[in-house]
């Protein structure tokens, strides 16, 4: 098992957009395997490449621990694009491996259509609803430099401000490998 340290709130890479993947070589496959190992080790259900220091447009997902998704196979989404969203939205609590311990209600579309490439660079179009849609949107936000806390109410943002500062300054304990605090 090969683990990446997870970048945390305040790390510059999490605010930058990732680069499209043009080729999937052996190194990319190994990085994807390590992303899955890292996500599972940290107890996550989704992970974007920039959360582990890779400037690639790659998401890994595994919702098999979520009720109703037990038979869902792990997924790799390369260069994902949200093609359509439903007008219906749902507010649900979200968390993030890059913001450990921070939670907040986020309004997201209840259904989406996403286009992405698999590891063979075969184009796939897929409809997703409920948790799958939410996790894809959450991780796709990461690929575009957006935290879920950018999408919460001002009231929640004020409530978590201190927690975010503690995460940025590495003043809390982490249950999984994380990056060192960035020096200015």
Determine the Cα–Cα distance for residues 16 and 11; give it in Å rounded to an integer. 10
Catalytic residue chosen out of the listed positions 30, 94, 123, 139:
139
Smallest CA-to-CA distance from 80 within 109, 49, 111, 36 is with: 49
Per residue in 35-86, pLDDT (tens digit) is 999 999 999 999 999 999 999 999 999 999 999 999 999 999 999 999 999 9
Instruction: Give the pLDDT of residue 181.
Output: 84
Whether 30 is catalytic is: no
Q: Where residue 182 falls among pLDDT bands split at 50, 70, 90?
A: confident
Instruction: Give the pLDDT of residue 184.
Output: 59
Question: Token pair of 53, please?
Answer: 């220091």
Q: Are 131 and 110 in contact (CB under 8 A)?
A: no
Determine the Cα–Cα distance for residues 99 and 118; give it in Å rounded to an integer. 28
Q: What is the pTM of this model?
A: 0.96
Per residue in 17-46, pLDDT (tens digit) is 999 999 999 999 999 999 999 999 999 999
Domains of the chain, start order: 12-168 (3.90.45.10)
Q: Where residue 120 falls among pLDDT bands split at 50, 70, 90?
A: very high
Average pLDDT score over residue span 93-120: 97
Per residue in 164-181, pLDDT (tens digit) is 999 999 999 889 999 998
Q: How many CB atoms lie within 10 A of CB 16?
A: 13
């Amino acid at each position: 098992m090969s683990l990446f340290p997870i970048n945390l709130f305040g790390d510059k890479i999490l605010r930058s957009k990732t680069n499209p993947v043009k080729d999937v070589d052996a190194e990319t496959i190994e990085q994807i395997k390590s992303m899955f190992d890292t996500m599972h080790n940290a107890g996550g259900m989704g992970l974007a490449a920039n959360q582990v220091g890779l400037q690639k447009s790659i998401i890994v997902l595994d919702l098999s621990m979520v009720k109703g998704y037990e038979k869902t196979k792990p997924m790799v989404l390369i260069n994902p694009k949200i093609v359509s969203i439903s007008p219906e939205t749902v507010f649900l609590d979200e968390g993030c491996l890059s913001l450990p311990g921070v939670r907040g209600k986020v309004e997201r579309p209840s259904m989406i259509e996403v286009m992405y490439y698999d590891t063979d660079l075969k184009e796939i179009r897929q409809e997703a609803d409920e948790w799958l849609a939410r996790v894809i949107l959450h991780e796709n936000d990461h690929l575009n430099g957006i935290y879920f806390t950018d999408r919460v109410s001002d009231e929640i943002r004020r409530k978590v401000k201190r927690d975010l500062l503690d995460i940025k300054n590495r003043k809390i304990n982490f249950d999984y490998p994380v990056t060192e605090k960035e020096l200015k």
